[in-house]
């Protein structure tokens, strides 16, 4: 099994009972991968799969995260849909009600995805959602969970990969799934890691619903207020006990001072108050209910990668390690869950046909997922421009004219994200490659 070793190059036979998988990173993508491997490969358990998290605990900073209907269906297959739904915020049938920054008039309501039976979109607190995934793995014994395991590098050892950790220990595995996020150590070993500044920062905070629920004038809790170069987004999480707030501001990188790409950076609330001075009364009420110290986030993504598989298919990238994207489309977490499901399918088929070779099936995973992920990266950047009224489509237009363009562009822009079918995508890619 993937575990700490004394450095011996012992061979691990690539058959179901002995096939070992190491997942680097214990965030949403990594824990979803562990669940998917178990869901599609019932013989795999903790003696086959290990998750290595660099932090001292399995937890995640940050606040709210959106999970689209496609990813929600995937969670059902992983056996955690009901638990995830129980911690979600609840809304009307509006994905996002977009309004003017000044007088609060409605611009356009973007419809929510149609529910699939009892399955619907989710809005969850990252830490609460991660706890759902972690608890399921621990309860069912699906994987060995290790903490304080920061990856330094990996090495090719014929049929296995050696993982070297910062604490001096090592591990061997037949397959490494790199889910170590936007700052992926594994990815940086194979490609130059160049952060791409999006031109925007975000302030993030949580507001108790009890502080603003009285006299709430809208039918939905999921709203954004739009202005040139700024937009202010809120949505409910934690069974509607909390309102997640994300306030975006377009800025030149030269204006950021020492702000780094980090979830942990903070700023005084007064900075947010200054950026949104003069906005409508609801925005002001929400800002005043935010704690005095808030998160400040320099939003970067990464260039599109054309290759996710390395070391003869024994190393694959997944989630943000493969396709980090800006958050304005709310697709990142969902795509990580989708990646995990397709990996589960690919490993299922490899273990049924080991003579074909692991690289054929990890390449099949890439063939299935890479085009969709790249499209999400590009359209997420485009969404940021639309909500902030930037780019060539808005050049030379008045604010009133910009609102008409926004109305046209946001009404159905999420349909392609929600309406795909993971199994159909995988089957189509499998047919193209003539794999059993």
Task: Specify if 199 maps to a domain.
Answer: no
Identify the bridge partners of residue 297 per DSSP, sorted by sequence position.
202
Task: Specify if 182 maps to a domain.
Answer: yes
Task: Specify if 204 maps to a domain.
Answer: no
Give me the sign of the Cα torsion angle 117, 29, 248, 123. positive
pLDDT in tens, the chain (436 residues): 564 443 433 333 345 678 999 999 999 999 999 999 999 999 887 889 999 999 988 766 668 999 999 999 999 999 999 999 999 998 767 778 999 999 999 999 988 776 666 788 899 999 999 999 999 999 999 999 999 999 999 999 999 999 999 999 999 999 999 999 999 999 999 998 888 999 999 999 999 999 999 989 998 999 999 999 999 999 999 999 999 999 999 999 999 988 888 777 899 999 999 999 999 999 999 999 999 999 999 999 999 999 999 999 999 999 999 999 999 999 999 999 999 999 999 999 999 999 999 999 999 999 999 999 999 999 999 999 999 999 999 999 999 999 999 999 998 788 888 888 999 999 999 999 999 9
Residue 44, token pair as written in the block: 């795999």
Q: What are phi and psi of 270, to 5 degrees?
A: -60, -30
Spatial separation of the C-alpha atoms in residues 282 and 110, rounded to whole Å: 20
**What pTM was estimated for this model as a whole?**
0.93
Q: Which of 99, 296, 124 is nearest to 205 (CA)?
A: 296
Task: Specify if 338 maps to a domain.
Answer: yes
Residue whose entry in the numeric block shows the structure tokens 């399995």: 58
Given the DSSP bridges, would you call strands 175-178 and 21-24 parallel, antiparallel or unpaired?
Answer: parallel
The angle subtended at Cα 205 by Cα 35 and Cα 185, nearest 5°, is 45
Given the DSSP bridges, would you call strands 230-237 and 242-250 parallel, antiparallel or unpaired?
Answer: antiparallel
Task: Specify if 124 maps to a domain.
Answer: yes
Task: Specify if 290 maps to a domain.
Answer: no
Task: Specify if 19 maps to a domain.
Answer: yes
Q: Domain range spanning residue 110?
A: 4-194+303-433
Number of domains in the chain: 1
Question: In this structure, what CATH number is given to the domain that contains residue 397?
Answer: 3.50.50.60
Task: Specify if 371 maps to a domain.
Answer: yes
């Amino acid at each position: 099994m993937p575990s700490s070793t004394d450095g011996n190059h012992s061979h691990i036979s690539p058959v179901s009972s002995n096939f070992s998988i190491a997942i680097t990173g214990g965030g949403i993508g990594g824990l979803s991968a562990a669940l998917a491997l178990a869901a599609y490969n019932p013989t795999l358990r903790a003696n086959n799969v290990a998750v290595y998290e660099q932090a001292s605990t399995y937890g995640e900073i940050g606040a709210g995260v959106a999970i689209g209907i496609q990813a929600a269906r995937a969670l059902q297959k992983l056996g955690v849909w009901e638990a995830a739904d129980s911690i979600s915020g609840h809304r009307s049938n509006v994905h996002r009600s977009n309004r003017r920054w000044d007088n609060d008039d409605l611009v356009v309501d973007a419809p929510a995805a149609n529910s699939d039976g009892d399955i619907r979109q989710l809005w969850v607190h990252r830490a609460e959602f991660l706890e759902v995934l972690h608890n399921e793995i621990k309860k069912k014994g699906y994987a060995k969970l290790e903490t304080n395991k920061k990856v330094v590098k990996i090495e090719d050892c014929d049929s296995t990969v050696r993982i070297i950790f910062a604490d001096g220990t090592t591990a061997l595995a037949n397959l490494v799934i790199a889910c170590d996020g936007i700052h992926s150590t594994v990815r940086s070993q194979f490609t130059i890691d160049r952060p791409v500044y999006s031109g925007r920062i975000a302030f993030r905070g949580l507001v108790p619903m009890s502080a603003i629920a009285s006299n709430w004038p809208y039918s939905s809790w999921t709203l954004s207020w739009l202005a040139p170069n700024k937009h202010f987004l809120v949505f409910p999480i934690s069974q509607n006990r909390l309102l997640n707030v994300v306030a975006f501001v377009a800025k030149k990188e030269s204006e950021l001072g020492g702000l780094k790409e980090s979830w942990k950076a903070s700023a005084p609330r007064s900075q947010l108050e200054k950026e949104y001075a003069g906005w409508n009364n609801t925005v002001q009420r929400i800002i005043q209910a935010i704690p005095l110290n808030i998160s400040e986030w320099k939003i970067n993504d990464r260039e599109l990668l054309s290759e996710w598989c390395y070391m003869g298919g024994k190393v694959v990238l997944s989630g943000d390690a493969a396709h980090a994207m800006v958050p304005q489309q709310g697709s990142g977490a969902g795509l990580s869950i989708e990646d995990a499901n397709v990996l589960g399918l690919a490993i299922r088929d490899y273990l049924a046909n080991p003579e074909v070779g692991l690289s054929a099936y990890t390449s099949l995973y890439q063939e299935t997922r890479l085009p969709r992920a790249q499209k999400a990266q590009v359209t997420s950047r485009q969404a940021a421009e639309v909500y902030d009224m930037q780019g060539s489509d808005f050049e030379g237009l008045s604010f009133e004219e910009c609102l008409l363009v926004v109305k046209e562009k946001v009404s159905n822009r999420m349909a392609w994200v929600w309406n795909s079918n993971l199994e159909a995508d995988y089957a189509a890619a499998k047919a193209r490659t003539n794999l059993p």
